[in-house]
Structure 1
Amino acid sequence: MNGPSMRFLGHSTARLELAGRVVLTDPVLTRRVGGLSRVVPLPDPAQWRDTDLVLISHLHGDHLHLPSLRLIGRHVRVVVPRGAGAWLRQRGFTRVEELDVDGEFTDGDLHVRATRALHSGHRWGPRLTHGPQSEAMGYLLTTPDSSVYFAGDTDLFPDMAKLAPVDVALLPVWGWGPNLGPGHLDPVRAALAVGLLRPRVAVPVHWGTLVVPGLSRSARMSRLLVDPPLEFAAGVLAAGHDTEVVVAQPGEAVPFPAPKDHS
């Protein structure tokens, strides 16, 4: 590795190379995710074969996706919200670690802290009580030269400002259906999040990757597979934030901002 880098692999999955570690966020790497279909090309397996660390933001099937974790390998280090560890270990994963919100750990020069998120943490959705439950969260990754905030799934909350400033913010701007339920950022609220986080670079995620089969043919869904990140970028520009928005298509590399000169 020659320095920090990142690549958007689709939905909430990003490959981050930081401080000599390869980190994947919420990996979704297959053609099908439950009842959803992938409408963009699959990631090159080279993008996940050398993974050192997987960060899981919450238990929903499009974020904690067991078939994708099996592709990466059952012995790769996986960090999950507190309460999900035993459930995942029962499915054969051997290096599972749990974090509470505000919990943290260090791996070499990489420091990871779990952050708050406003989103349902139940595996099967907010209206059910059976099955695994844990608190949804995001992650703040820092090295001596850079910082990356991965929001997971969340709605806007004022304490985002306590994370500022960050070099890169990976912010969800939509989902996989024609509507958003509670606990999600849309393009407007994601642009407001930029004002709180003050990132140098903002990357819209959680869009344009998964869809309910058949819905992609509708005019509304066709627009929603394309428009949310563009609307987000327009909102950031209109607000006058000093942030570069990089709209990367699934599979594309994202330019990482140069380290700040602290001399």
Structure 2
Amino acid sequence: METGGDKYGRDLGEQIRSRVRDRMTNRDRYSGLIPGAVILAIGAIFLLNNLGYVKAARFWQFWPLFLILAGLVKLSVPSRRAWGAILLVFGILLQLNQLGYAHFSLGEMWPLVLIAAGAFAMWSALQARKITEGFNGNNADPRTTLNESAIFGGVQKRLNAKEFRGGQLQSLFGGIEIDLRDADLAETEAVLYANAIFGGIEIRVPETWYVAARGQGIFGGYTDSTRYTGPGDPDKPKKTLIVMGTAIFGGVEIRN
């Protein structure tokens, strides 16, 4: 007999998977737009230069416009708005400097990198908490979900739950090691958010799980080192762990 908690968990899982599918669809829709636009613009400038219509050297003072364009495109994707805002701000500042309306050197502005990293980390954490809010509070079951944070410290955890539902990991100047090799998924899919800022996260999963890593590395790495051998029993459905998040001056690695 299905309990209210079981129904809640199933409904929550379906809501999260639906949101993730929407984000992945939007990402795939725009993934080739930015590099394509940049290559097209550069090619057009060189062609007009070779034909004698323009002087390409005059256009190089407008190179920050590429950052502005990239920022505007990413702002149209809900899961990339923070990154888009950062590119847009940097592009505008650099363009003002190129045109002489602002006067600064890159050496003076390097703290902006830390400010941007911090802002992006906060945004990622808020987005992860929003989409996985059902894992927290009174509805959370620490036996089947993860909600771990490491700040200037370390976390090591082994989970052997047979109904793992996902969760979130946050590492700030710290390290997190999660071992899920003895666990199993409650549904055919589970979503795990992993954000590492000046830190590291290592996630170990069974070879029978397919890993869909959808993370981004900004001066860091987001690596999927797993090997998928299949469910073992051909009658069992494929189990997928979707790992999302950001690594800023840090690293996230999923392995067996």
Q: Verify same fold: TM over 0.5.
A: no
Task: Give the structure with the higher percent helix.
Answer: 2
Q: Which has the higher contact order (CA 8 A, sep 6+)?
A: 1
TM-score (norm 1): 0.30
TM-score (norm 2): 0.30
